Amino acid sequence: MRIIVALLVTAAVADIGLAAPPFYSQWQTFGKADGLPSDKVMCVRATADAVWAGTDKGLARYRDGRWKSFGREDGLVHSAVMCVAEDVDTGDVWIATLGGLSRYSAGRFDSFKQLDSGLVNDVVYGVTVHRGVVWAVTAAGTSRYDIATNRWTIYDQTNTPMHETWCYSVAGAGDKVYLGVWGGGLLEYDIPRNRWRDYRDPDGEMEIDLFRNDGLVHDIIASVTYDDVGRVWAGTYFGLSSYDGRKWRNFMDHDTPLQSNFINYVQAKGAYCWIATDDGLNATDRENWWTYRRDVTTGETVVTWTPTGGAAEQFRTKTSFPHNYILGADFQGDSIWLATEKGVAVGRR
């Protein structure tokens, strides 16, 4: 049955000539009983040979079919892990926590805190490594750490158009770095020009979007990502925005297949943005949509494919992720990994 459903979806997508993402028809879940330090998983990051899950009670690594947990007793700076990033050049793993920044390298942890480094604040919500530089977004601004020179730079309201210092998300792409600021919109840093630019919600309304596609849908940004065709995506608690360098597109749950306006995380893969919400998972290239939602009664996944200009088609898979409150997503090959309120899940074709 699983193969038949997958073939039906593949055929439906092929009819419109779209290079769609894989259809995830088989799900496996992991929780505390499987070796995670907690079922509340805040983030997930997949590398070539491992998967890292950050929880409210420590960090875990999945390798060779087994989970291994790490806590403060192992050198992790704090047990509440908000984000994990990999330095693809060195294989080092950087961990953002609510009590500082950690680096896992060669089997040991090194920690960075406000009082012993250039980290601007110990409450670190996000981290990424881009072109040999570590970017850490915190509750009081953003810190940039140049690994080669061991030099820190702090960005806040004094040297950027940062209307709020509560920085929540960061993504690097080419010559640009993007910061998602909680209540302060989207900041773009042009690396060669050493220049900042800000994008704000033009209407300034907190509860509604007065004019569709006039700019960023909302200033409260929870997550930011960048896709392979040159578009930045911003997930907010009031909808989704996408910017291609010329025009904005905004998406909300009352007039698009977006499952919920309350977006926890966005992750690009290819031309698609995957959207982790408080009520399920979406994927879109701005025209076509996938929706994945757990049926809490049957434990199945209800999958909806909505092509542009066409009728929605619905499918069911026997397995599902453990909860519809999804906090993170990442990819390892054709598999998708999800961080949820009740554990980790991996979706396979």
**Residue-level pLDDT at 62:** 98
> How large a percentage of the chain has pLDDT more than 90?
89
Give the pLDDT confidence score for residue 2 in this predicted structure. Answer: 45
319 Rama class: left (phi>0) / alpha (psi -120 to 50) / beta: beta
pLDDT tens string 62-121: 999 999 999 999 999 999 999 999 999 999 999 999 999 999 999 999 999 999 999 999
Please report the pLDDT score of residue 8 as a whole number: 47
Q: Name the H helices within the chain.
A: 2-14
Q: For the residues 280-309, what does the mean pLDDT come to?
A: 96
* All structural domains of the chain with their residue ranges: 2-348
User: What tokens does 71 get?
Assistant: 């806590």
Kindly report which listed range (5-9, 137-141, 173-177) carries the lowest average pLDDT score.
5-9
Percent of the chain with pLDDT over 70: 93
Mean pLDDT of 115-140: 98
Higher local confidence (pLDDT), 18 or 329: 329
Superfamily of domain 2-348: YVTN repeat-like/Quinoprotein amine dehydrogenase (2.130.10.10)
24-71 pLDDT, tens digit per residue, is: 999 999 999 999 999 999 999 999 999 999 999 999 999 999 999 999
Confidence check: pLDDT of 4 > 50: no
Check if the beta carbon of residue 294 is closer than 8 Å to that of residue 320: yes
Contact 267, 284 (CB under 8 A): no
Sheet containing 151-155: order of strands: 124-130, 133-138, 141-146, 151-155
- Report the distance separating Cα 241 and Cα 208, nearest Å: 14
pLDDT score for 214: 87
pTM for the whole structure: 0.94
Cα four-point dihedral sign 81, 266, 167, 229: positive
CB 120 within 8 A of CB 159: no
Residues 215-251 pLDDT 10s: 999 999 999 999 999 999 999 999 999 999 999 999 9
